[in-house]
A and B are shown apart, each in its own frame.
Chain A
């Protein structure tokens, strides 16, 4: 049995306007230490999938198991980096991270918790800004705090919901490299949500494409056959890169064409890789 097992996950939102069927039976597996990406169009249900795995939202049907245990409620063993970061604006960078460190290590002496917090802040290169409030930070710095807080939960599984999509291309490239470095050091099991095909190929071992909603499902996983460490330069010329990209784009386009004949027009927006 895989480390994370998601079987037949369904979710609809009921509102006054009617029922929105978002996920229509999602299957997904992750092995321990694996880096898996889920790629899909905006509005297809990626955040919904993350919220379900995090336990913040209850599914209509289906099952989620992490390390054998069924997921029924939120918990820090499924650490999460929220799409909108959700930093607490009244706390400094340090306190935001410390809140998670203290919550997860209640028995550790205060000095050890302080050291852990400092290490995490150093890991994301924020030591000089440790006492700033979130509103005094750039978007990229806020993103780093969110990653540090996610790692502070010492999660079995780190869920990252489009962590870089709110950033400009240059900052995004820097942070992708940083994430690769951190993952290389820690080997946390990661599920990365993204709408950027090239980001998924650069970072992940395997990639699940998500069909556009309603009733979104995941397509078969695509293996990224690129060796690590992965240098960003010239990577787009590798045959393995081209192959993964083609498979992904074909699946997403095909599904979007199917969806558009069903009355849900959506255009794919392929992005050029950053050199």
Chain B
């Protein structure tokens, strides 16, 4: 067997099997309410094998629920980038802007989505815009901070080229500052997307909107515990795929 398949396929499968065994043992001994792997699969099969069925607002295939969540995350993430990228550039470019707003950034960064969401509901009166507001507000910080750091770590050598050529401010920004910062910006985007996905679940749980997180909370209230596990696994899988996709984009930017 080639060593590569061993390391990349066999070992991860062994790890997953190990987790399944522990899960089965725990559900059989310590936590009788926790559904076993087999029961989880039996009760969740339809949601995975027929991912787009719709029996009601909250009873839909995982494909549909994930789609709702992804659309919401997409909107919040786009808003986070649209606000966060320019703020990051301003923080990096202008000393005065940095002195004025860096303390606020450091202050807002650690605030949990759970704290923003009620405020969003107060401001927007509807759960959908409140959720997007929360996602954007929580997810934008890695973009802000990475962009600012990227601008400030541009090599003086590149800036000197612009100075000798007497490039205008806009040309310097377009031809030197932005391209030099791009790898940092995209690292920020990847981290922001991860955060946005973390926040979506919390905000759906709190607002009860249809989506993976909303489904999870409803099934908890209906005592269908196997569907909680189904939701958790779906959230993990989608988060993993999103991170990998953004990783590919990031790698492309880094090379050029």
Residues of A within 8 A of B (CB): 54, 56, 73-76, 78-80, 82, 84, 86, 88, 90-91, 99-100, 103-104, 133, 153
Contacts and interface: CB of A to CB of B under 8 A. Distances in A.
A66 to B, nearest CB: 14
B176 A88 contact: yes
B166 interface: yes
Contacts of A56: 160, 163-164
A153 B164 contact: yes
B165 interface: yes
A74 B256 contact: no
Contact of A74 (B157, B158, B163, B175): B163
Interface of B: 157-158, 160-161, 163-167, 171, 175-176, 179-180, 182, 256
A88 B164 contact: no
A133 B179 CA distance: 14
A253 B161 CA distance: 35
A54 B164 contact: yes
Given A88-B175, A90-B256, A104-B165, A82 B160 contact: yes
Contacts of B256: 90, 133
A103 B166 CA distance: 7
The main secondary structure of chain B at its interface with chain A is helix
A56 B156 CA distance: 11
Contact of B165 (A73, A90, A99): A99
Given A99-B175, A133-B256, A88 B158 contact: yes
A86 B167 contact: no
Given A56-B160, A82-B157, A88 B179 contact: yes
A90 B179 contact: yes
Contacts of A153: 164-165
Nearest to B171: A103
B163 A86 contact: no
A88 B256 CA distance: 11
Q: Across the A-B interface, give the 4 residue pairs with the lowest CB-CB distance, nearest first.
A: A103-B165, A90-B179, A86-B157, A74-B163
Contacts of B180: 90
Contacts of A91: 175, 179
Nearest to B179: A90
B176 A74 contact: no
A54 B166 CA distance: 12
A56 B171 CA distance: 19
Nearest to B163: A74
A209 B235 CA distance: 70
A91 B179 CA distance: 9
B158 A75 contact: no
A79 B164 contact: yes
Nearest to B182: A90
Nearest to A90: B179
